[in-house]
A and B are shown apart, each in its own frame.
Chain A
Amino acid sequence: MHAVEKMLARAAGVDSVTPGEILNCSVDFIELNDLYLQVVRSFYEMGGTKVWDPTKISFVFDHYSPAPTIRTAQIHKEMRDFAREQGLTHHFDINAGVCHQVMPEAGLIRPGMILVATDSHTTTHGAFGAFGTGIGATDAATVLISGELWFRVPEVIKIEITGKPRTGVYAKDVILHIIGKLKADAAVYQAVEFCGEYVEGLGVSERMAVCNMAVEMGAKTAWMKPNRAVLDYVEERFGTDYILDETDPGYTYAGEHFFDVSSLEPQLACPHSVDNVFPFSEVSPVKVDQAFIGSCTGGRLEDLEAAAQVVKGRKIAPATRMVVIPASMEVYKKAMEKGYVQTLIEAGATFNAPGCGPCLGTHAGILARGEVCVSSTNRNFPGRMGSPEAEIYLGSPALVAASALEGSLADPGKYLDTPQGASV
């Protein structure tokens, strides 16, 4: 069996599973974000009175933090009341950050666990060897009541990555390149394992960025075998009481793909789909109105560091605005300590409170009709960040920062090799 299958088998209390089988599994943890007052409503509609386990449920207020409208304030209020009434142990209000960053930081994520969350980017937690998958509001309400959910055991496909990318090319470029080649429906309803010498050498932040985007290929979940960097992260915050699942030797994958990233250029996902990806040199120059750095894909400390390296001692273009949203308050504090916030603000960036706002077009950096945004986030669908007539390009945080300096799409390489950008 694959490690992913072993996790599902354990959660279902059976010895073995096969792809396609439908199982009822115990869930180790569920997270609900603040788009989902529906979950609370459905919980009561379905006859719920007390949640199954208040220590295994977290609310994270990130999609509307702080509340931008009266309606969203009302959603927060009703969810906050529910969290208090039910005695939820892990309630992250508007002072915490993006769910997929906040949960690992709080020590809630560990290898071998089954995690569901009302957010499609729950695949992120495959970076920690967890089984993480996104669900909707009705599914979430069933978990609140019962602690269980039905799962179809997914086929597993393997993506093996080798090579060492050049300066200015990041994990974000690697995953964009892969999605561009395999396309948006390459892994619908399947689990994706990322492996190979490139993956083995990645840090926690880069692993999270890769797994985060697996859902853009349609993946149900992503998985990476935890390396020492991941285990150190988990042990520091959670402890050592976790299960490391290993895939059996000779396991047959439903598909295998190989990528060598040695000669990869910075990549851009062009409007209007995440799989519309081209190397930087093949994209025509485009004027940029907004450059955005943030989200569960591209708002971590390393992302802010890369952006700060690029803009250090420079000014963003007068006709371009740069919005930066740290993925969590912990990221924000560390970025302040390290001087990245100061560097970015001096270059002309605007900071907003940790959360998801502009990534999904709810607030704090919305695009007008006809505007162009280059973004370190994960989606460029029509209307994703505001007007359906705006255009979104996706790239690494360094590419976004370089584009902010030039006022048009730019390769970050030249800013990383110069003495000005050498130290932040």
Chain B
Amino acid sequence: MKTGYTGKAHLFGKNIDTDQIYPGQYLELVEPDEIARHCLEGADPSFASKLQPGDIVVAGTNFGCGSSREHAAIALKHAGVAAVVAESFARIFYRNAINLALPLLVCKGISSRVESGDTLKIDLEQGTVTNSRTGKVLEGEKLSSYAMNILDKGGIKAIFLDKTRGKTR
């Protein structure tokens, strides 16, 4: 399983809700690639065009609050966001992201120690974020073994497909 990610940071504030991550007017879209075009459009309309695959989203507390819409996690994942690091995550978003194998890391104090454009190195196993500009290593919270297992298997769908086909892994 890939546990290290290096990418350019895009910094957002606190309480970035799922309406900002994926505005309601696009909820009727079903295809992941179409959904990805509107990633974080409510917070930054030019985000999807600026984003390079492998970039990292950084935010304050309560990232993903609001609606249960899985479109929010799908948009980030399919737009090419490698991981999201935030001071805290809203519960349903957290589950949706892990289920889709979008890596998340809770890291207190991250939003005041990172600027947009910084290059960050994430180590999921250690739960750390290294900021190349400042050289500082920030300690985050390690994911539970339950969540790590889902990420490792490539998401809930892959796990279930194996179950429904009667395979074991």
> Are A and B a genuine interacting pair, yes or no?
yes
- Taking Cβ atoms with an 8 Å cutoff, the residues of A that contact B are 22, 35, 37-38, 41-42, 45-48, 63-64, 69, 71-72, 75, 118-120, 134-139, 141-142, 145, 150, 184-185, 188-189, 218, 220, 273, 360-362, 379, 381-384, 386, 388
Q: Is the CB of A136 within 8 A of B30?
A: no
What are the residues of chain A within 8 A of B157 when measuring CB–CB?
42, 45-46, 138, 141
- Interface digits, B48-62 against A, CB 8 Å rule (1 contact, 0 not)? 000000000000011
Apart from A120-B66, A382-B42, 18 more pairs, CB < 8 Å: A22-B144, A42-B157, A48-B164, A64-B28, A71-B29, A72-B28, A136-B92, A138-B70, A138-B96, A141-B157, A184-B62, A184-B65, A360-B24, A362-B25, A381-B19, A381-B20, A382-B43, A383-B24
Q: Is the CB of B144 within 8 A of A145?
A: no
Q: How far is the CB of B73 from chain A (nearest CB, A)?
A: 7
Q: How far is the CA of A249 from the CA of B4 in the complex (A)?
A: 47
Residue B2 at the chain A interface, CB threshold 8 Å? no
Q: How far is the CA of A255 from the CA of B70 in the complex (A)?
A: 30
**Which one of B88, B146, B160 has the highest number of Cβ atoms from chain A below 10 Å of its Cβ?**
B160
Q: Is the CB of A382 within 8 A of B19?
A: yes
What are the residues of chain B within 8 A of A118 when measuring CB–CB?
68
Q: Is the CB of A38 within 8 A of B27?
A: no
What are the residues of chain A within 8 A of B80 when measuring CB–CB?
none
Q: Is the CB of A218 within 8 A of B19?
A: no
Residue B91 at the chain A interface, CB threshold 8 Å? yes
What are the residues of chain A within 8 A of B27 when measuring CB–CB?
35, 63, 360, 362
What are the residues of chain A within 8 A of B15 when measuring CB–CB?
184-185, 273
The 9 closest A-B pairs by CB, nearest first: A47-B164, A136-B70, A361-B24, A136-B96, A46-B160, A185-B62, A134-B68, A137-B70, A71-B28
What are the residues of chain A within 8 A of B14 when measuring CB–CB?
185
Residue B90 at the chain A interface, CB threshold 8 Å? yes
Q: Is the CB of A38 within 8 A of B30?
A: yes
What are the residues of chain B within 8 A of A137 when measuring CB–CB?
70, 96
Q: B161 touches which one: A47, A150, A388 (CB < 8 A)?
A: A47
12 contacts between A and B (CB under 8 A): A42-B157, A119-B67, A120-B66, A135-B68, A138-B96, A150-B146, A188-B91, A218-B65, A273-B15, A361-B19, A379-B19, A381-B17
Residue B95 at the chain A interface, CB threshold 8 Å? yes
Q: Which residue of A lies closest to B87 (CB)?
A: A185
Q: How far is the CB of A38 from chain B (nearest CB, A)?
A: 6
Q: Is the CB of B62 within 8 A of A188?
A: yes
Residue B143 at the chain A interface, CB threshold 8 Å? no
Interfacial residues of chain B within 98-125, with CB under 8 A of chain A in the complex: 99-100
Q: How far is the CA of A269 from the CA of B92 in the complex (A)?
A: 23
Q: How far is the CB of A354 from chain B (nearest CB, A)?
A: 18
Residue B69 at the chain A interface, CB threshold 8 Å? yes
Q: B95 touches which one: A75, A135, A361 (CB < 8 A)?
A: A135
Q: How far is the CB of B25 from chain A (nearest CB, A)?
A: 6
Q: Is the CB of A361 within 8 A of B65?
A: no
Q: Is the CB of B19 within 8 A of A383?
A: yes
What are the residues of chain B within 8 A of A141 when measuring CB–CB?
157, 160
What are the residues of chain B within 8 A of A383 when measuring CB–CB?
19-20, 23-25, 42
Q: Is the CB of A381 within 8 A of B66?
A: yes
Q: Which residue of A lies closest to B89 (CB)?
A: A188
Q: Is the CB of B68 within 8 A of A361?
A: no
Residue B156 at the chain A interface, CB threshold 8 Å? yes
Q: Which residue of A lies closest to B162 (CB)?
A: A47
Q: How far is the CB of B50 from chain A (nearest CB, A)?
A: 18
Q: Is the CB of A120 within 8 A of B160?
A: no
What are the residues of chain B within 8 A of A134 when measuring CB–CB?
68, 92
What are the residues of chain A within 8 A of B19 when measuring CB–CB?
360-361, 379, 381-384
Q: How far is the CB of A181 from chain B (nearest CB, A)?
A: 16
Residue B169 at the chain A interface, CB threshold 8 Å? no
